[in-house]
Amino acid sequence: MEAVARAAVPTPVSRTLVLMPAGLSAALFCTPALHALNQSVDLVCLAATKASAEIARCCAAGAEVLDTLDEEHLRSLIQNRPEVLWLDLDHSAEASEPTMHIADRLVGIGANVRRLSEELGSFELAGHPVERARGWLLSVASGQTPAESSSDDLMGGFPLAASADAQSKVARLMSDDRPMLLVHLGCHGVAAPGWRFWQTAGHPNAWPLDGFLQVAAALRQVFDEPRVVLTGTGIEGKLTQPFARQTPDSINLVDQTDVPLLLALAERAELVVGNLTGPIHLACATSAAVVAIARETGEEGSFADAGAALFPASAARRIASGPSLESVSPAKVLSECLIALKAAGRLPN
């Protein structure tokens, strides 16, 4: 990574308090640097959401991870920590509000909060904002400038591992050797009451249900008796009904998964396909073939931009996109699935 330092990076402290981003995807993109910090400092992670706390636990083994705090506990945490690193990578006000609340509380009791988005402006770094964030965090861990940080550390992917308990749950669900196809029906929490995207009136961030049904039916012809596992949020429960009629042996885990279980499911799956959202990013921590379905947003810095949506880049990670999700055909998604499966070595002979 090319970079030109415009400000000195402080010597890393021995005790570091990290304020995690609330969003699942943003927390994931911080994990390479979080892992590096955990190797060199006494690390405590503050998480505003359950998902970001679970990401921290999967990534930073041995670090203290907290998602419930009272004022006295906050004061004791900052007493011997001269700074708090705020990893504010969430790109929407709604997503960042929980961590902003904790940051305000920390400042109110005298903490020195170093905000990632502000300090990134101290360097002219090449690449996507996510890449720049990794460089900045690794520089804090190592005491180097981002130009000196190892690109190998930056591009190593998400250092996550499913818990033994989650792996045991998946083993019980999939007690045979049948291939597993993981279909994530969620769309970044936008499937709120009132959005009936399983009907004709679809949500702009959710691929129409009929497309998922067609792709699942086609993949059942590719694999020998595959099991389709469905995940998503609670409001998407109605989506499972058409799947149950078409694939009676599908496994419905909608509104029943946490981060460790999603990670273990992706580790077991041949293919993970779904709308471009946190669980699809999470699947990129595994060796599964991954296909994301996304709109062409054209927004600079969006996770949907080429080269940043599915990290690290791999021929087994594909994006099926169009001006709108309705314009993405099932044939296109199926084609990307077959390309990803072949690249991952998961396509049956």
Residue pLDDT, tens place only, 61-76: 889 999 888 888 888 8
Which one-letter amino acid corresponds to residue 320?
Answer: A
- 137, 176: one domain: no
Distance CA 331, CA 261 (A): 30
- 74, 101: one domain: yes
Could you please report the per-residue DSSP string of 246-282? H-TT-EE-TT---HHHHHHHHHH-SEEEEESSHHHHH
- 9, 119: one domain: yes
- 136, 72: one domain: yes
Q: Give the position of tokens 């009136």.
A: 201
Q: Specify the number of domains making up the chain.
A: 2
3-state class of 25 per DSSP? Answer: helix
Which range among 72-76, 120-124, 133-137, 233-237 has the greatest average pLDDT? 72-76
Sign for the CA dihedral angle at 255, 257, 262, 264 comes to negative
Task: Provide the 10 A C-beta neighbour count for residue 204.
Answer: 12
Domain boundary among 98, 128, 154: 154
| Pairing state between β 180-184 and 42-46 | unpaired
Q: 229 pLDDT band (50/70/90 cuts)?
A: very high
Let me know: does 84 contact 19? Beta carbons within 8 Å. Answer: yes
* Domain encompassing residue 249: 164-343
- Tell me, yes or no, whether 349 lies in a domain: no
- The 8-class DSSP code of residue 154 comes to H
- 184, 330: one domain: yes
In the predicted structure, residue 77 carries a pLDDT above the cut 60: yes
Domain boundary among 128, 154, 180: 154
Please, which residues bridge with residue 123 across strands? 5
3-state helix vs strand vs coil in the chain, percent to 5: 40, 15, 40
Omega into 312 within 30° of 0, i.e. cis? yes
3-state class of 212 per DSSP? Answer: helix
Distance of CA 274 to the CA centre of its chain: 13
- pTM of the full predicted structure? 0.83
Q: 46 pLDDT band (50/70/90 cuts)?
A: very high
- 76, 208: one domain: no
- 289, 216: one domain: yes
- Tell me, yes or no, whether 223 lies in a domain: yes
Distance CA 286, CA 239 (A): 26
Phi-psi region of 188 (alpha: psi -120 to 50; beta: other; left: phi over 0): left
- Tell me, yes or no, whether 348 lies in a domain: no
